[in-house]
Every structure is written in C-alpha cells, then in structure tokens.
Amino acid sequence: MSGGKGVKRNGISRRGFLKSGGATLAGGAIGIGAAGTAVASSESSPPAIARLLRKATLPAASGARVVVVGGGWSGLTLAKYLKRFNPDFDVVLIDRQSAFVSFPVSNAWLADQVDLDFLSHSFFDAANNHGYRFMAATVLGFDRDSRRVFTEQGYVDYDYLVLAPGIEYDYPRIGVDDPEAQELLFHRYPGGFVTSSELLTIKRKIHRFRGGTFVLTVPSGDYRCAAAPYERACMVAAVFRRRRVRAKILLLDMNSDIVIKREGFARAFDELYGDSIEYLPSSEISALDVDARRIETDFDEYEFDDAIIYPPVRASRLIEEAGIHNPEDPQKAPDTDPFRYHLRNDEHVYVAGDSRAQPFSKGGHTAHSEAQYVAEVIAAHARGREIAWRSPQTMCFSAVDIEPLRAMSIITYYKYDSTTGLFAFDRTHLIDRWDTQGGQASLAWAEGMYRDLFYG
Amino acid sequence: MPMSARAKLGFALALLLLLAANTARALEPITVTLEFQPDLADGRYSYDICARCHLPEAWGNDDGTYPQLAGQHVNVLMKQLLDIRSGRRSNPAMQPFVQQRTIGGYQDLANVVAYISTLPMNPRHAKGPWPPGSPEHAEGEAVYATYCQSCHGAGGEGDNTRAYPRLQGQHYSYMARQARLARDNLRRVDASMSALFTAVSATDFDRALNYISHLPLPAADVAPGVDWRNPDFQ
Ligand SMILES: Cc1cc2nc3c(=O)[nH]c(=O)nc-3n(C[C@H](O)[C@H](O)[C@H](O)COP(=O)(O)OP(=O)(O)OC[C@H]3O[C@@H](n4cnc5c(N)ncnc54)[C@H](O)[C@@H]3O)c2cc1C
C-alpha cells in the first residue's frame, strides 16, 4: 500500500500502550452514577460535596419545568420551541460550556472564509430572546424517581427532562484503551468534533504547520457529520496551498470508500489537491503512538508531523452512566421510543440530537429539524395529546475550495419501513458539483440557523 | 358541525367586513406579479437554490414537513415569499435564501414563482385519515361548504387574483400542521383566515382539511406518475 513520507514498519503493538499524565476522560461528564446516590450517601460532606446537594439558584418554576441538558444544536432548538409550543413551560437549558461555537461552517473558518464572530453566540442571548433560563453547569447525573438533575451548581427538579448532550470520542475503537493515553491523544491531536477548544487548536496547527506529513482520519460507524472530515481535508489543503507549505495530507479513511458526496470529493481531491491530499481508504486504525507520532492501520504504518485524529464516536456517557442505554448498541445510545423519543419506560425523559438511538445522520440540521418535532411532542404530551410523526431532515453543505468559497450540498429525509421495522433514507437530493452558489448557500443556511437558535 | 343561525349570521357579517378590508389593502404580492414580466429561464436558475430543500419537483413531503409548491397560484407563492422574506411568517431555515442579497429583488421573485407554477403536481399527495363515505368526511364536506368554499373554491382550487391558496393537492399533514400553528398564533396569517379559528373548532377544521385532501385533482395539472422527475434538473 502506498503511504506518506516516512512510512516505516516495525513491531509496534497492535493495541495502544501509551501512558502519560491526565485526568478524566475527554469530553466526558464526571461520573457520579445515575441517581446521584453515591453523592447523597457521602457522610463527610466537605463543602464541595455539600454544594452538589443544595438546590441550584433558580427562580421558582413558573409552570411545568422542562430541563434541557446540552445547549448544542438540538438543545437550543428544543428550549426555544418548547417555550413556543407551550408558553406555560418553565424551560431551563444547561450547558457546561459558557458560549456556543458552531461546528457547522467551522471548516470554512479554518480557511478564513468567515470569522469567529460568525460562529460564536451567547447562551444568554438565546435565553433572553426566547424566554427560558440558561444555566452554565455540568450535569453529573439525574434521578428519575425524584425527577432531579444534579450539577456542580446544585440540583434542579424537573417535570420533563430532555437529554441532548451529543457525542463523545470512542478511543478504544482505534486501539487506545488506557484513559491516560486517551487524554493525551485528545489534547495533542484533538478531532475537533466535540468541544470548541479543539477547533482553536486545530486552526493554530494548520496555520503554523511548517511542512511534512499531516494526518487526518475519517472514523467508521455512524460518526458525527459524515461529510465534515472530507470537507476538512479540503480546507486544510486549501490553507497549505495558500501558505505555500510543502505538505502531504494523508486522509486515513476507516471506511472502504468516501461515504458521502463521493463523486464531488473524489473530483476535488484529484483536480484541486492532487499534489497534496493522498486519500487512503480502508485504513482501520489499530494503534497510535502519540510521542512517536506514529499511527498504525491494519495494513500499514505512518509517521506524521502533525495530525487531527477523529476516532469513532459514541453517545454521551451521561446516558450509559444513568443506565438508560441499550447495552446491545456499540454507540451506547439510549433505549428510547423511536417515534416519541422518550425512554420506553419513562415518558418524562427524552433523548434527542446526536445522542439519539435512531440511525439518522448526525448533523446540526438533522438535530434542528428533529428538535422542533420533539418539542411539539412534549408540549402535546403535557396537554394529554399526541401528534403525528415527522421525519427529521438532513441537510449538509460541504466546502471544497476557497477564494471563492465553493460548496456542494445534500438533503435527505427518512421513512419508516413498518415491514422491516427500520428507518431508511427517503428521497435524497444531492448536488455534488461544487460552485459559488453552493458556497453562498452554505453561509446563508448557517445564518438562518443561528438566527433561529439565538435571536429570531 | 351545525351552528346556530345567529352565529352563522355573525360569522357572515364578520366575513364581509374582512373581505372589504381585504380588497382595500394594497396587495403587494399581486402588484409584484403584475408589474414584473417573469423570465422562466432565470426562474429555473434561481429555483436551483430552492430545490436544495424543496427538491426539483417541489412536491413536498407526506409527513408535512414541506408543502407542495407545484400547482400553487403565483400570487399565493409570492405572498408567502414576501412574508417569509420579511419575517412576518417565521421560517428561519428559508429566510436567508429569499433576501435581496441572495435571490435578488422583486424581478427575481417573480421569475422563481413563475417557474414553480409551470411544474406539474404530485400525483400522490398525503390524504387525511377519513376516506370518502365516512361520517367524518361528510362532516368535513359540510364545514368546508359553510366556511371555506367562499375563498378556497368549490374544488379547493383557490383564487389567484385574490391570493387565496389552492388547497387541492396540498398534503393533509402540511395543512394540519399549518392550521395548528395558525390557531396557536405561531404562524401569522391574513385576518381573513385567522377569523376562522374563532368560528370553527379545531376538530371541525381538521375534518374540513381531511375533506379537501380527498378532492380530485384536474388530470392536466398532475405529473404522469410518481416517478416523474423534473427534466430541468436531470
Ligand atoms: C467540523 C464539523 C462540521 C460540521 N458540519 C456540519 C454541517 O455542515 N451541517 C450539519 O448539519 N452538521 C454539521 N456538523 C454536525 C453538528 O455539529 C452536530 O451534528 C450537532 O452539533 C449535533 O447537535 P447536538 O445538540 O446533538 O450536540 P452538540 O452540538 O455537540 O451539543 C451538545 C452540548 O451538550 C453539552 N454537554 C454535554 N454533556 C454535558 C453535561 N454533562 N452537562 C452539561 N452540558 C453538557 C456540550 O457542551 C454541548 O454544548 C459538523 C460537525 C463538525 C464537528
């Protein structure tokens, strides 16, 4: 197999073996168990623990309280539309980050096509404009019997709980099992798919790269935003081209082929970045040595100067820790009703967004269209009504070139096949030629979304 | 559902007043469609952006997330575009696509609605749950005749000159969702239409929509089959 510069073979172990300093798992919540009972039973109760056990400072609920966990694309949409569909709801949105930075369009930002202001928005604006409360806190767990959510700012009682905490990286699936090794890998070579600091690190990396081999990976499974890793490879290559850096970009794809917008991306790799991007399909990663900057696949081994390692993903650990996951599912997604989104045995707890169980594409647009429906389901439930199922839609633009920005797009819907009991793609409309109209549309799309989530 | 004679009279009066108000108000969409000579080729070009969401056939979705645009009157399409453009009708996903800086001015809007109006309709739109012959269908027919027909037409064909939407061929699920939004004041609609929500109960309204969804479509307006694909996009 072909490889990049500095490809070497040696007897590196098949599994990750790294050890280094670090604390908790990347992107994960601090686990205290589902019910918070571990905390509740703690006897010594030092101040830090006492804090967890008091009631969070919030005005008394003005109506049925809906607590939304996670202020991403799903949670922000849910909070807004819950309030809209039922103005009597008292909605509280909780996120551990203090500001929102959009992942969609962040690849264009890496290549300076928009500035950070375009991507960054305040949770306060969203809450003030839409009549709900925002709380900056990390959710540690919840207890379904007492209907209580625990955070480091204290607990909040709920009538409805909606979980939209998104995804986490699943490093063991690329052979990195040791938590400390995972932590090190996360900090040095973040994937840029979970938290906003990762994005800032990646931008610095590519704007300061001095040349050599730059590795990007595409995970397998139902990972977040199918097109984004390919789009990112194009944007990284465009930056290197503009900076005239002599670099080889190795795009290690764990899938056997480009999984989406195949023709368009293949043409871009060939026509625009033929001298920089080397696309390597079926590159199942089996081990990764952070210090030696070496990555091992089932067939080959590569050394790199810098990298963006995007491993497979799983649903937020919050779900597994609460014991509401489906143990059969490799992504540890929740055991929910596929049409109503609530836990099968609890109509007061809902899960939406990228941590959902349904196999819909993990995308911001998907999460946004789905959340409007889920908000309506919950509002109807509170009134003792039901509404008909509506499919989410997945819409995704992918930039392939800059100056001017050129992009492709795809939209797809889902249908439920009652004979197989599975969801399938309904009609799909793919525009895989990249043009400036698509580039402009991608920015218009994002602008409309931000307006909806924060201002309109 | 039957209504007392007095209530009916009151409703008729309210309707008359509203109709008068309607004719008096300057109808921007109609002025626009009258004043701009549409260019279909240009409309096809602009529709490319719309097709990224509405798909090339503009047929909408069974579950009512998207409306059928094909077959709709130009003045109605124009009114909706202007409402969405100004934010009067909330549609955040679409709003940026119908701004001056993206699609252009009135001329471009006139072009794109003219283009959409040339598209044949979906031969299999989503119908309501009660088939012809059922009591609910019959009730819907009566409600429709009393409250809706005067504007939306005996066959649900609407009225282009007065910008009353064609409902015939629209997905039942879409109409039901729009009615829910409008009733809860989440979609702003013309006073002529919103007055109905006080006069007609949610159940009766829904039956009327069910009835409309089962109305036949003129064969000439419909595409030859569900597999028809817009050749302009092949
Ligand atoms: C580079 C990139 C490009 C992309 N491009 C597109 C695109 O063009 N189009 C598209 O549609 N999608 C795109 N996506 C995908 C999109 O970003 C995600 O699908 C979307 O963010 C999912 O929304 P979510 O609300 O489920 O999760 P997130 O947006 O990840 O939100 C989850 C939130 O929960 C918070 N949270 C998690 N755990 C806790 C806890 N314990 N306590 C408190 N808060 C917590 C997190 O801080 C986070 O804010 C892209 C993603 C990336 C990374």
Q: Which residues contact A325 (CB under 8 A, 6 or more apart)?
A: A315, A319, A332, A333, A334, A335
Which CATH number characterizes residue A135's domain?
3.50.50.60
Has residue A141 been placed in a domain? yes
> Is A445 touching ligand 1 by the criterion CB < 6 Å?
no
A251 and A355 share one domain? no
Is there a single domain that holds both residue A158 and residue A266?
A: no
- The C-alpha atoms of residue B86 and residue B199 are separated, in whole angstroms, by 29
pLDDT tens series, chain A, 456 aa: 333 333 333 333 333 322 222 222 233 333 343 334 444 444 566 777 888 889 999 999 999 999 999 999 999 999 999 999 999 999 999 999 999 999 999 999 999 999 999 999 999 999 999 999 999 999 999 999 999 999 999 999 999 999 999 999 999 999 999 999 999 999 999 999 999 999 999 999 999 999 999 999 999 999 999 999 999 999 999 999 999 999 999 999 999 999 999 999 999 999 999 999 999 999 999 999 999 999 999 889 999 999 999 999 999 999 999 999 999 998 999 999 999 999 999 999 999 999 999 999 999 999 999 999 999 999 999 999 999 999 999 999 999 999 999 999 999 999 999 899 899 998 889 999 999 999 999 999 999 999 999 998
* Residue that terminates a domain, selected from A366, A390, A414: A390
Share of chain B above pLDDT 90, in %: 75
Instruction: Give a yes or no: residue A405 inside a domain.
Output: no
Q: Is residue A130 part of a domain?
A: yes
For the stretch A159-184, pLDDT in tens is 999 999 999 999 999 999 999 999 99
How many C-beta neighbours within 10 Å does residue A389 have? 13
Tally of domains within chain A = 3
Asked if A20 and A129 sit in the same domain, the reply is no
How far is residue A144's CA from residue A348's CA, in Å, rounded to a whole number? 9
Last residue of a domain, one of A390, A411, A443: A390
> Does one domain contain both A159 and A200?
no
Calculate how close chain A gets to B94, using CA atoms only, in Å.
7
- Return the axis-axis angle of helices A262-271 and A228-243, rounded to nearest 10°: 20
Rounded distance from Cα A193 to ligand 1 centre (Å): 8
> What stretches of A176-244 show up as alpha helix (H) in DSSP?
179-188, 196-208, 228-243
Q: Which atom of ligand 1 is nearest to the CA of A95?
A: 44
Disruptive mutation site among B48, B59, B65 for chain A (greatest number of A CBs within 10 Å): B65
Q: Are residues A183 and A300 in the same domain?
A: yes
What residue ranges define each of the domains in chain B, with the CATH number in brackets?
40-123 (1.10.760.10), 135-216 (1.10.760.10)
Query: What does pLDDT average to over chain A?
Result: 90
Which run of H or of E encompasses A439? helix A436-450
The Cα–Cα gap between B30 and A89 comes to 41
Look at the block and give the residue holding tokens 């908790």.
A24
Segments forming the whole domain that contains residue A215: 168-311
Task: Verify that A128 and A24 share a domain, yes or no.
Answer: no
A6 assigned to some structural domain: no
Residues A88 and A127 in one domain: yes
Q: Where do the H-state alpha helices sit in B87-190? A: 106-117, 135-143, 149-152, 172-183
Domain end point (choices A390, A422, A439): A390
Q: pLDDT at position A225, please? A: 95
Whether residues A173 and A307 fall in one domain: yes
Alpha-helical regions (H) of B36-73 = 40-54
The partner residue sitting opposite B49, judged by closest CB among A369, A437, A452, is A437
Of B52, B61, B65, the CB nearest to A441: B52
Would residue A447 count as lying in a domain? no
Looking at ligand 1, which residue's alpha carbon is closest to its atom 41? A139
Segment B13-71, tens digit of pLDDT = 444 444 444 444 456 777 777 788 999 999 999 999 999 999 999 999 999 999 999 99
Q: Where do we find the tokens 């799309």?
A: A445
- Nearest atom of ligand 1 to the alpha carbon of A138: 42
The model carries a pTM of: 0.89
What does the longest C-alpha to C-alpha distance in chain A come to? 66
Asked whether residue A376 is domain-assigned, the answer is yes
Interface predicted TM-score of the whole assembly (ipTM), two decimals: 0.81
Asked whether residue A191 is assigned to any structural domain, the reply reads yes
Same domain flag for A258 and A142: no
Position A417 in a domain? no
What pLDDT score does B31 carry?
77
Nearest atom in ligand 1 to the alpha carbon of residue A102 is 17
Q: Do A153 and A185 fall into the same domain?
A: no
Residues A270 and A373 in one domain: no
**Gap from CA of A194 to ligand 1 centroid (Å):** 6
For residues A120 and A216, state if they share a domain: no
